[in-house]
Chains A and B, each alone.
Chain A
Amino acid sequence: MVHVDIPEDARRPEVVREALAGRVDRLPPSLAVSLVLELDIPPSEQQEMLRGALRDADRDPHIRMLAAVSLAKLSPEDAVADVSALLAEGDVDERVAVSAVDIIGRAGGPAELERLDQAKKAATTELLRQRATFAQALIVHRHGLDREVELPAVETQPEPEAAASLPFVSRKAGKQRGDRAKRGVKEDFPDLDVDKHDVYELQCGPRLMAIVIQRAIVEGEGGGQPGDTPSIPAFVSFRNEESGDFFAALVALLGKSDKGGVSLVLTRLTGEPVFAGTGTAGPGQAEVALTAANTPGVPAISATVRIKGKQLEITGVSDTRSVPGLGPQRVDIP
C-alpha cells in the first residue's frame, strides 16, 4: 500500500475548492475529494463542498461518486438523504446511481425501499439493477423486515479435495484485534452496535478473518427464533497485512430455508455470493453447513458453523486455490 503525500499548502479550503473543479494541476479532483474530510473547517462546510461536487452533473462521475462516499463517512444519515434526493430527481449518471444505492443499502432505512424500486425500474444497466436489488436485501435484513427479497442466486462449487485442502477452526479474538475488526465493519455499516457484537477469528492459509457476530444470537438472548425474520447475524472482516487494520469483506444474510430450517448466504459488500448453506437454528444453538459459491476468486470450502454453549465454532477445510478469475481482453499498445 502506498499513500500520496499531499503538500501542506494544498490543505486549504480555497485550494481544495479549486481542485474539486479540476483547476489545480498538482491536486487532481480525486485527491481533493478525499482531502475535504481533513480540512480544518466545520462539518457543515465540508458537507456543503461535497454536496456541491455530488450534485454537479458537469463533473466527472468518478468525482461525484467519491463525493457520495465521503458524505457517507461524514454523516451516513445525511448522506442517505442526499443521495436519495439525487435519485428522486432522475436522469442521474448510472455510475453515480450505483454509489447512491450502495450507500442507501448500508445505511438507509425501510423508507428507502420504494426509492430503490424506482432506481431498479429506471435502470438501463444490469449493474445498477443488481446493486439496487442487493441494497433492498441489505435494508430488509438490517432492519429485520418481514418482506420477500431477492437474494443473489448461488451456484455452489464441489467440496475441496482432501489432499489439497487447509483445515481451519475458529477461536475467540482478543480485545485489540476484536475492536479493530468491529471498527472495520462499522466504517461500511455505520449502525453496527459494537457493544452488542463479539469477535471470533479464523486463520485459513495466509488470511486472518474476523467474524463479528451478534452476541444475542450466540448467547440465545433477545427472544425469537433465528431466521424467522431476515437478519444479519454477522459480518466477516479481513485483516490488511500491511496496516493491521481490518476491513469489512463479507455480510451474512440469514433467513428461512424452503425446508423449514434456516438459510445463510455470505456475500461480498457488492452482493456477489461467496458462501452459502442451510441448517437448523434455535435460541442459543445453530448448525449450518456451508459450501462455496462458484464465483471467480473464491476457493472451495466445506465448513460447519455451530452455536452451542454460548460459543461460536466454525470448522472445516478450504481449497488452496480459487475459481480462476475472468480474463481481460488483450489489446495492442494503444
Chain B
Amino acid sequence: MPGISINVIRVGSELFTSSDELEISNAVSFLRSTYATVSLALRRVEHWIIPLAQARGRDILDTTGEAETLTDEWTVANHNVDVFFVKTFVGSVAGLSPVNGPCDKNAKGMDGAVVEVIPGLTGHILAHEVGHYLGLSHRSSDSTNLMFDSVPNGGRLDSGQGATMRSHCFVEP
C-alpha cells in the first residue's frame, strides 16, 4: 500500500503535558486508520520540538498570517509532511494547511500544516489538514466527510479522495 510520513512538531514544547501527548498519539492513530480506508498507509512518524525560547511567540497563533509564518520559518529537511502542533490558535479556527502543499519545503508560500491540540478533536483536525496538504478540498455539503469544513464530522473519505491523496508527490510507493 502506498504511504506518507509525517513530522510531528511541538511548538513551545515545554507546554505539552502528558495528556496532550496522549491526545497527539490518539490523533496519529485516527489519521492512520482513516487513511487506511482509502489505501493510504501512514509510514514513519518522526517527533520534533521547538522550545519556547526559540518559538518566538508562535506557540500561540493569533492570526492566520502567524500560522503561515510558522511554517515558513521552520522546516524539517526530509520527505515528510511537516505538522506543527500548537496549544492555541485564536478563534474557532483549529487548523490550517495549503491545498496540495509543496514537496519542496523551501518553495515560496505555506509549506506545512498547523494543528491546534483540542481534547477529543485533534485527530479530526490532523487528518483534515494533512488531507488538504495531500490535495483535498472541502466537502461543504457532506457532514459525514472528513473534509467537511468543521469538526467534529463523520470522518469518512471516499475512493476519489483516496486517489487524489495517493497522487501527491510526498506519497511513497
Contact = CB atoms under 8 A, between A and B. Distances in A.
B64 to A, nearest CB: 5
A184 B140 CA distance: 24
B92 A3 contact: yes
A118 B125 CA distance: 41
Interface stretch (B35-43, B116-124, B154-162, B163-171): B116-124
A229 to B, nearest CB: 28
Interface stretch (A42-50, A144-152, A254-262, A325-333): A325-333
Given A62-B88, A95-B57, A297-B73, A241 B99 contact: yes
B94 interface: yes
Interface stretch (A12-20, A23-31, A170-178, A214-222): A23-31
A70 B104 CA distance: 36
A185 to B, nearest CB: 11
A325 B56 CA distance: 14
A324 B94 contact: no
Given A95-B57, A99-B62, A328-B48, A2 B77 contact: no
Nearest to B21: A334
Interface residues of B, number: 67
A270 interface: yes
Contacts of B121: 4
A72 B111 CA distance: 30
A269 B99 CA distance: 25
A297 B69 contact: yes
Contacts of A297: 69, 71-73
A5 B64 CA distance: 19
A318 B108 contact: yes
Nearest to A205: B108
A3 B73 contact: no
Size range of the chain A interface in the assembly: 35 or more
B118 A247 contact: no
Given A4-B150, A127-B56, A296 B94 contact: no
B49 to A, nearest CB: 5
Interface string B93-133: 11111110000111111010000101111001100110000
Interface of B: 7, 9, 13, 15-16, 21, 45-51, 53-54, 56-57, 59-60, 62-66, 68-69, 71-77, 87-99, 104-109, 111, 116, 118-121, 124-125, 128-129, 138, 149-152
Interface of A: 1-6, 25-26, 28, 30-31, 34, 62, 65-66, 69-70, 95, 98-99, 125, 127, 131, 188, 204-207, 238, 240-242, 247-249, 268-270, 296-299, 318-334
Given A34-B92, A99-B62, 17 more contacts: A1-B93, A2-B125, A2-B128, A3-B149, A65-B60, A205-B109, A268-B69, A270-B56, A297-B69, A297-B71, A325-B71, A325-B106, A325-B111, A327-B74, A327-B77, A328-B76, A333-B47
